[in-house]
Structures are given as structure tokens and as C-alpha cells.
Chain A
Amino acid sequence: MTGNGNLWVTDYGAGAVYEFTNNGGTLSSAVTTFAAVRSPDGLAFDSNGNLFVADNADGKIYEYLNSGGALSPAPSIFASGLGSPTALAIGPVPPVSPPPLLAISLAGGTPVVAWPVPSTGYVLQTNTALTTGNWGDYGGVVSNNTATIAPSQGNLFFRLMHP
């Protein structure tokens, strides 16, 4: 059973991945050998207990899937074509900031479309009908995330696009 603080070792020379089981805080010196990759180098566990191993000679990253606390005896290819991978490390995925809200107001009877500063990287787009996919970049002046809209002959819809 993985997840108990077992020690895992890659043996480049033997082409093996070893597991040493943690029994109540003491590691057993008895070794369990997992299906080999050709030249295992760096290794790392993700938050879900899956094990990733770099195959230095074959340019691949293998993944041993965690299923109910047991790793699959044979790995699957996670990525390939990486030259000679050596080291691996797992890190968190940074949280994604929520997109800014687009606000429409009237200034002296003229529509103004704006979104919070300093939201960067967003492009204001327009469409004449929500039933079509014909969105295009707004052609007027946008300054400080604000666009003053000339009176329209018909419906005009706005959205923010992050390319």
C-alpha cells in the first residue's frame, strides 16, 4: 500500500524502480521491484499518489498510476520526445484569477463599457447578435480599460476575450 511513507528508488544501472515499505515508522530493507523502464533517473509523486519516473535513455516520462493505494505494476507513457530527462519535481498549479467583469453604464446618455484596471491581456470584442459566432475586436478607442460607444443602429453585444 502506497502513501505510508514508503521509500522509492530509481536504479539507473539496473533499470529498476524499487519500493521499501514503511512498517510503523521503520523502513523494511526488503525490496519490491517494479516493472523497469530502461534508464530510470529522477522520480516524483503527485498529490494523487501517482509516481512519475524519468527515463533518461529513452527521453520519456513514465507514470505508475495509483489505484486505491496500489501503484500499477507496469507504467504508462506520460510524455515522450524529451531528449535526456534527468530530474522531476511536482508543484502546485497556481490558482487562476477570476476574469474581470464587464460593466456597461451611461455617461451623459452615452454608453460606456469598462472593466477593472489593471486587468491586462483582455481584448474587448463585439457582436451584433448572440446567435452567431461572429465576434470581432472592437474597432473604437479603448483607454484605461474603458470604451465610449457611439450610438448604435441596432443591438451591439460586448465581451472580454483573453487570447
Chain B
Amino acid sequence: MKPKFYYVLVLLALAAHGTQADNLFVAAGGDIYKFDTTIGAASQSTFNSQSTPPTGDLDSLVVDTNGNVLAGYYNSNNGYGFIDEFASAGGGGLFYNGALSAFGLALDSGGDLFMDGESYPNQTAVIYKFTSAANGPVETTFAAGGGLSVGGLAFDHSGTLWMANGGYGSIIKFAANGSHTTFVTLPGGSADPRGVAFDGQRQPVGDGLRCRRRL
């Protein structure tokens, strides 16, 4: 019996080394579902269902290095937006509630949150940067205006922010001062970029959006 026992130990060690389990969070229908990536559909559970106002359409997700989940919403009742922050075990509260819809979220390497959305009521694309302060997060405008639409956000390995420029069918690259250039216009006549991501990331990333053309 001993040889068989040893074989089992070796196989388990190889499996543990080769595949790392992650949580995959999915925004759908205003709810957040959670999966274990090594298990698949059978691991589906409800991470959060909206139960208290404000409520809205869930358009973006990002997970910080501590496993906290930030979720961006568009409030169709008033055209505003908000962000909820949930602990990894569930439960949480309002992170932001204001006149900017929250369509894309990304975290930089320092843990500061970036959000893109449309201001209400003039529907101008704005990118906010949130920094921590004694009385809660404070937003400043990172970029805004001409040539920008709303879409998914992501940081590359060098700390540069990128955005899916949904309404323009292009991908935008931001400089540290918020100025932007068009990296590429997507092929075809019906381009509608929604999400951007970089492979090989060492920090949790995520983005996404339900884009609404405003042009």
C-alpha cells in the first residue's frame, strides 16, 4: 500500500503547483456572481444582490490586492452613478455617489482608483481619480472632454492608463498628466470596444462596461 500512497502525494503536489485558484467575479443583471476558476460553473454563488438604494445597472468591476471588490453602477433613475465597495467576504457600503456614471474602473499600482463615466446632464466623458483622505475618498478630474467616450479601463505594466473609447471605436492611451492619444482605431465599421486588459498582470485587474453611444 505504501507505494500507492506516495504516488498520490506526488500527483497532488504537481497539481497544486500548476494551477492557482482565483475568484472570478461577474456583473450581470445588477448582481455580482462569484466563481472559482479551477472549478467552473458548479462553483457559482451570489456575491451580492442589490437590496438597498441607490440601485442601478452594474457596468464595471475591479478587485484590489486585498480582495475587496469595487463595483461601478449607472443609476438610470437620475442619470447619476455610484460605486460600492465590498469586502472579500461580502458586505460593504457606498464608496462614491455623484453626478458621474461609473462605466469603467481600474486601480493603479498605488491602489488609487480611476473611474470613467459621463457627467450628468451634459453627458461629457470624464475620468476621475480617487485618492484616500481622512474623511473618505476624494475625487479629482484626471481627464475630460473632447474625443473621449466611456469604456473599460486598464493599467499596463508600466503604469499607463488605457481606455476603450467606446463611442469612437478606438483605444485611448493616457499620459500621466491626463492628456491622451489614440493608440488604434479598431477595424470594421461597427467597432464598439467595451473592455481592455493586459496579459501577464501581477495584480488583480478587471474592467468592463455596458457602453451607451452618446455621439
Using a CB–CB distance below 8 Å, which chain A residues touch chain B? 2-14, 16, 18, 20, 25, 27, 29, 31, 40-52, 54, 56, 59, 61, 78-80, 82-94
Set of chain A residues within 8 Å of B186, measured between Cβ atoms: 9, 11, 14, 18, 31
Also in contact, A87 and B191, with CB within 8 A (given A4-B200, A5-B156):
no
Q: Would you give the shortest CB distance from B186 to chain A, in whole angstroms?
A: 6
Q: Could you show 27 A-B contacts with beta carbons less than 8 Å apart?
A: A4-B200, A6-B198, A7-B183, A7-B196, A14-B190, A29-B183, A29-B184, A41-B208, A42-B195, A44-B205, A45-B200, A47-B20, A59-B28, A61-B35, A79-B26, A84-B29, A86-B28, A86-B58, A87-B72, A88-B25, A89-B24, A89-B206, A89-B208, A90-B206, A91-B23, A91-B88, A92-B63
Set of chain A residues within 8 Å of B197, measured between Cβ atoms: 7-8, 43-45, 51
Contact (Cβ within 8 A) A43 B188: no
Set of chain A residues within 8 Å of B195, measured between Cβ atoms: 9-10, 40-43, 87-88
Chain B residue at minimal CB-CB distance from A4: B200
Contact (Cβ within 8 A) A90 B41: no
Residue A40 contacts which of B28, B41, B44, B194 (CB distance < 8 angstroms)? B194
Contact (Cβ within 8 A) B208 A88: yes
Q: Give the secondary structure class of A's interface.
A: strand
Question: How many angstroms between the C-alpha atoms of A25 and B21 in the bound complex?
Answer: 29
Using a CB–CB distance below 8 Å, which chain B residues touch chain A? 19-29, 33, 35-37, 40-41, 44, 57-63, 67, 69, 72, 88-89, 152, 156-158, 162, 164, 169, 171, 183-184, 186-188, 190-201, 204-211
Chain A residue at minimal CB-CB distance from B171: A9
Set of chain A residues within 8 Å of B69, measured between Cβ atoms: 89, 91
Set of chain B residues within 8 Å of A18, measured between Cβ atoms: 186
Also in contact, A86 and B210, with CB within 8 A (given A80-B41, A92-B22):
yes
